[in-house]
Structure 1
Amino acid sequence: MAHAIQWLRSLIHIVTIYVAMLVLGIVFFPWAIFSPRGARAACKTWCRFTLWTARWMIGITYDIRGDVPQDEVLIAAKHQSFLDIILIFYAVPAGKFIMKRELMFAPIIGQYALRIGCVPVNRGKRGQAIKQMVSDVDKGRAEPGQLIIYSQGTRVAPGVKAPYKIGTSVLFDQLGQDCVPVATNAGVTWQRKGIYRRPGKAVVEFLPRIPAGTSREGFLKRLETEVEAASDTLLEEAGFHAKT
Structure 2
Amino acid sequence: MIWLRSLLFNIAFWGTTIGFGLICLPLMLAPRRWLLLPMRVYALIVIGWLRLLCGVRLVVDGRENLPQGPGLVAAKHQSAFDTIVWFALLPDAAYVLKRELLFIPIWGWYCWKTRHIAVDRAAGANALRHLVKAGKAAVAEGRQVVIFPEGTRVAPGLRVGVQPGIVALAAATALPVVPVATDSGLVWGRRAFRKQPGTITIRVRPAIPPGLSRPVLVTRLEAAIELAEDSTGQVPLVDKPVESPA
Offset of residue 190 of structure 1: 1.2
Task: Name which of structure 1's ranges 166-175 and 51-60 shifts more when overlaid on structure 2.
Answer: 166-175
Normalized against structure 1, the TM-score is what? 0.85
* Aligned pairs for 1:49-198 within 5 A: 49-66=45-62, 67=64, 68-123=66-121, 124=124, 125-134=126-135, 136=137, 143-198=141-196
**Which residue among 228, 232, 237 is the counterpart of 1:232?**
228
2:25 counterpart (23, 29, 41) = 29
Q: 1:20 aligns with which of 16, 22, 26?
A: 16
8 A contact 1:170–1:216 mirrored in 2: no
Q: Which residue of 1 aligns with 2:241?
A: none
CA distance in 2, matches of 1:134, 1:198: 35
Q: How far did residue 173 of structure 1 move?
A: 1.3
Measured in 2, the distance between the counterparts of 1:88 and 1:137 equals: 15
Q: Per-residue displacement from partner, 1:77-136 (whole Å, max 9, x unpaired)?
A: 111101122223311111111111111111222111222221111122233323432564
Q: Tell me: CA distance 1:70–1:79, structure 2 relative to 1, closer, same or farther (3 Å).
A: same
Report the Cα distance in structure 2 between the residues aligned to 1:25 and 1:222, rounded to whole angstroms. 39
Task: Provide the C-alpha distance between the structure 1 equivalents of 2:89 and 2:27, rounded to a whole number of angstroms.
Answer: 22
- Structure 2 distance, partners of 1:174, 1:131, is 7
- CA RMSD across the alignment: 2.3
Q: 1:5-36 CA distances to partner (integer Å, 9 max, x unpaired)?
A: 21222122112211211111121222243121
5+ residue gaps, structure 1: none
The residue matched to 1:232 in structure 2 has which SS?
A: coil
What is the aligned partner in structure 2 of residue 48 from structure 1?
44
Q: Distance in 1 between matches of 2:37 and 2:113?
A: 11
Report the TM-score when normalising by structure 2: 0.85
Q: Secondary structure at the match of 1:82?
A: coil
| Aligned mates of 1:137, 1:104 — CA distance in 2 | 18
Preserved contact between residue 99 and residue 119 of structure 1 (Cα < 8 Å) = yes
Aligned residues: 228
